[in-house]
Amino acid sequence: METRSFTQPIPQIKYLVKNKLWAQVLVALFVGLLVGLALGPETGWVEKETSEVITDWLSIPANLFLKIIQMIIVPLIFASIIRGLTSSGSIEQLQKLGLGAAVYFVITTAIALTIGIAIATTIEPGNFIDSDLIRESFGIEDLDPVESYELSIHDIPQSIVGLVPSNPLSSFMSGEMLSIIIFALIVGVAMITLPHKSSKPILDLLESIQDFTMKVVSWAMRLAPFAAFGLMAGIVSKIGLSALTGLGAYMATVVAGLFVMMIVYVIIIKFFAKRPLASTLAIIKEPQLLAFSTSSSAATMPVSIKTAEEKLKVKPKVSQFIIPLGATINMDGTAMYQIIAVFFLAQLFDVNLSFTTIILIALTSLAASIGAPSAPGTGIVILSTILIAAGVPAVGVVLLLGVDRILDMTRTMVNVTGDLTACMFFDKRAKIEEPPKVES
């Protein structure tokens, strides 16, 4: 009996690895970590040039995976948002859901920024590291501060007008996600006002676009474990564990802040969405782990929609509107990461942040997180803009590149959790009635 109980988990583990994507990704991440250590600078088993060649080959599945997602994500988001809008049935219901979503996203992002500021000023991770040691480790010889960039009130009207695409095709070609979303919102609202007979052909076309793009993404998902393996192996082999531990205080601060944000989501799920915590958290683990391994809200979006509709029983009109929209404008994890990173670098380089500057950084982080491309590595690009506004030395971005990928994985998981939490919140609070089914 004891032997049987000892070996009983083995078939279950085999089943998970064979049938569950999240289990495959988890195993791939662990194996990638081991391979990265073997190829990394600490062991000295492999020459640096040879290690780079090997990791380049190992990263092929990851690059293919990300390319496929980038290829298909624009039509997928465009079709999903329009179909989500038109499924609301009327302008009144759309206003209730759309305005509510906008207010909800702004509030949760503001909460994330507040948590980030509080935890960064409390822990002060920049004071744990010797600036000279960091510069020597990364081969940085000088620290030339950049001029502080002041936002002008005269730029705001032009920025608002610039959000509306004068040439939608150009926005599609360049991947300007916020402009694409605004165009999709305009088209979706216009479609609602048309008679069903006039809008049906376009809606049928958009349904087909959504179906085939989701199919392509499902094919890409088969590469996810191999992509996770290659990415993890590449990260560890290039920067090594010693470089990771050198920025440990900064990483711990970011992770702690993200953990507090997860507690906020738990509160929303429990007390506002009225969902049982244990079963809900168990259900959303697959999109969470996929987001962690791919660092892309866009790549996780099909799995998030499927999880919301099939397992969480969220109304399709809610999930197909909130998740595609949230994948681009609901970036709580990204906003928190940015604010903590700015404080970390300011502390490291002894840059004094006044109250006005902190407010400017918070507003810039809020605006930058809205419409940020839901692809890996975009957070570090957005951070560069915020550093300029804060007057922090531009070279500071270089200090974070080594650990950004790992933190990118973590904050993306928080972003996706935020989208699913919003789905459950609005499914409970919006009280949208399902349209009557038309029998053929």
Q: What is the DSSP string of 264-280?
A: HHHHIIIIIS---HHHH
The mean per-residue pLDDT over the stretch 360-388 comes to 64
The mean per-residue pLDDT over the stretch 317-324 comes to 86
Q: What is the pLDDT of residue 119?
A: 96
How far is it, in rounded angstroms, from Cα 302 to Cα 274?
24
Q: Is 8 exposed, middle or buried (0-12, 13-18, 19+ CB in 10 A)?
A: exposed
Q: What is the pLDDT of residue 121?
A: 93
pLDDT in tens, 118-149: 999 999 888 877 666 555 544 445 544 444 44
Of 217 and 313, the structure prediction assigns the larger pLDDT to 313
Average pLDDT, the chain: 77
> Which residues lie below 8 Å from residue 189, measured CB to CB, with a gap of 6+?
85, 91, 94
**Is 152 in contact with 170 (CB distance < 8 Å)?**
no
Of 85 and 372, the structure prediction assigns the larger pLDDT to 85
Ranges of each domain in the chain = 2-429
> Which residues lie below 8 Å from residue 92, measured CB to CB, with a gap of 6+?
none
pLDDT of 76 over the 70 cut: yes
**Is 320 in contact with 303 (CB distance < 8 Å)?**
no
Q: Write the DSSP symbol of residue 175.
A: T
**Is 177 in contact with 328 (CB distance < 8 Å)?**
yes
How far is it, in rounded angstroms, from Cα 221 to Cα 193?
37
How far is it, in rounded angstroms, from Cα 402 to Cα 67?
22
Of 397 and 16, the structure prediction assigns the larger pLDDT to 397
Task: Report the percentage of the chain scoring pLDDT > 70.
Answer: 74
**Is 9 in contact with 16 (CB distance < 8 Å)?**
no
How far is it, in rounded angstroms, from Cα 265 to Cα 280?
12
How far is it, in rounded angstroms, from Cα 349 to Cα 146?
12
> Which residues lie below 8 Å from residue 7, measured CB to CB, with a gap of 6+?
none
Whole-model pTM: value is: 0.68
pLDDT bracket for residue 304 (50, 70, 90): very high
pLDDT of 232 over the 80 cut: no
The mean per-residue pLDDT over the stretch 368-396 comes to 62
Instruction: State how far Cα 326 lies from the chain centre.
Output: 9
The mean per-residue pLDDT over the stretch 188-194 comes to 83
pLDDT bracket for residue 381 (50, 70, 90): low
With tokens 């989501």, the residue in question is 265
Candidates 3.40.718.10, 1.10.3860.10, 2.30.250.10, 2.60.40.3880; correct CATH number of 2-429?
1.10.3860.10
Q: Which of 13-22, 262-271, 379-388 has the highest mean pLDDT?
A: 262-271
The mean per-residue pLDDT over the stretch 226-246 comes to 72
Q: What is the pLDDT of residue 261?
A: 97
**Is 148 in contact with 391 (CB distance < 8 Å)?**
yes
> Which residues lie below 8 Å from residue 186, measured CB to CB, with a gap of 6+?
none
pLDDT of 197 over the 80 cut: yes
With tokens 């915020």, the residue in question is 386
AA identity, residue 6: F
pLDDT of 253 over the 70 cut: yes
The 10 Å Cβ neighbour count of residue 402 is: 18
Of 344 and 11, the structure prediction assigns the larger pLDDT to 344
Of 340 and 393, the structure prediction assigns the larger pLDDT to 340
pLDDT bracket for residue 268 (50, 70, 90): very high
pLDDT in tens, 16-75: 445 566 677 778 878 888 888 888 777 778 887 888 888 888 888 878 877 787 787 788
- Cα Rg of the chain (Å, integer): 23
pLDDT bracket for residue 114 (50, 70, 90): very high
pLDDT bracket for residue 8 (50, 70, 90): very low
The mean per-residue pLDDT over the stretch 356-369 comes to 74
**Is 415 in contact with 331 (CB distance < 8 Å)?**
yes
Report in angstroms the alpha-carbon separations of 236 from 36, 48, 338.
Answer: 5, 13, 23
Identify the helix (H) or strand (E) that includes residue 127: none
Task: Choose among 357, 368, 303, 306: nearest CA to 332.
Answer: 368
pLDDT bracket for residue 3 (50, 70, 90): very low
The maximal CA–CA distance of the chain, rounded, in angstroms, is 77
The mean per-residue pLDDT over the stretch 202-212 comes to 86
